[in-house]
Amino acid sequence: MTSTGKDYVLMTAARNEAAYIEGTIKAVLSQTVKPRLWVIVSDGSTDGTDEIIREYEKNEGFLVYLRRHDPSSQVDFRRKVESLRLSQAMFNNLSYDFIGNLDADITFHADYFEILLHEFNKKPGLGIAGGVLYEPFNGRFVPRYLSEKRYVPGAVQLFRRQCYEQVGGYVGLRWGGGRHCGRGFGLDEGVGDAIHSRFAGIPSQGGLRNGFGTSLAFLRGVDVLLLGK
């Protein structure tokens, strides 16, 4: 099957996300434009995450469940990258235009990916797009630390395929890592507003590189809801 110009694939690394992953799955299933393929890798989960994924996999042809067995107790961004690479290998013989990393605790409105694809179509030079994050704090939603319209958090990054392949995907650095797209593509762009369902707090040590070459703290655990502005 050939690409339509709006085909996208998703990859998700999940570790003990039973409390959140069903919401993520339901959000993707509700999309007005669904992914061609979505591969979820459970990285040694022990809390029922696997069972939830497999139950939905039975009825959804584009959802694929994989389990990664790693006896190491170390949990950092390098481990997540290994899971994402397992997901990416499933796309080798597939035609698609965009590839996204979606964390296992994300939710959004039904037109979330339709809006992102519209932005890409409007801007052929746009390399990365995704939601701007808000999270609950003291009974209200506040902007997530360092979440702004010039930076797309790793938890919701959707890449133009050429951009992703040009930079070679994610870098397996301990505290997180990324590289901006090279020649011919614009920098990261936040599209819409998003809500994170659990407070991330202060930044951890280390850094995450964005398209401006700025060192940003790597925060984990993002839950997204597009507000539809």
Give the tens place of pLDDT for each residue, 90-140. 999 999 999 999 999 888 889 999 999 999 999 999 999 988 777 777 887
Mean pLDDT of 205-211: 29
Residue with tokens 């593509």: 185
Which range among 133-137, 190-194, 224-228 has the greatest average pLDDT?
133-137
Percent helix, strand, coil in the chain, to 5, is 25, 25, 55
Average pLDDT, the chain: 75
- Give the Cα separation of 108 and 50 in Å (integer): 22
* Pairing mode of beta strands 215-216, 208-209: antiparallel
Its pTM stands at: 0.76
Which pLDDT score is estimated for 149?
58
Mean pLDDT of 214-225: 28
- Residue 169: band (very low, low, confident or very high) from pLDDT cuts 50, 70, 90: confident
The residues spanned by each domain of the chain are: 8-216
**18 pLDDT more than 50:** yes
Which pLDDT score is estimated for 23?
92
Positive or negative: CA dihedral 143, 145, 148, 151: negative
Give the tens place of pLDDT for each residue, 49-69. 999 999 999 999 999 999 987
8 A C-beta contact, residue 176 and residue 218 = yes
**203 pLDDT more than 80:** no
Give the tens place of pLDDT for each residue, 131-154. 877 777 788 777 766 555 567 877
Which pLDDT score is estimated for 107?
84
* Nearest C-alpha neighbor of 117 from the set 34, 200, 227, 209: 34
Which pLDDT score is estimated for 123?
92
8 A C-beta contact, residue 36 and residue 94 = yes
Please report, rounded to a whole number, the percentage of residues in the chain having pLDDT higher than 70: 65
**208 pLDDT more than 50:** no
**184 pLDDT more than 80:** no
Assigned CATH for 8-216 = 3.90.550.10
**158 pLDDT more than 70:** yes
Question: How far are the Cα atoms of 53, 190, 209 from residue 197, in angstroms, in the given order?
Answer: 20, 18, 24
pLDDT greater at residue 184 or residue 124: 124
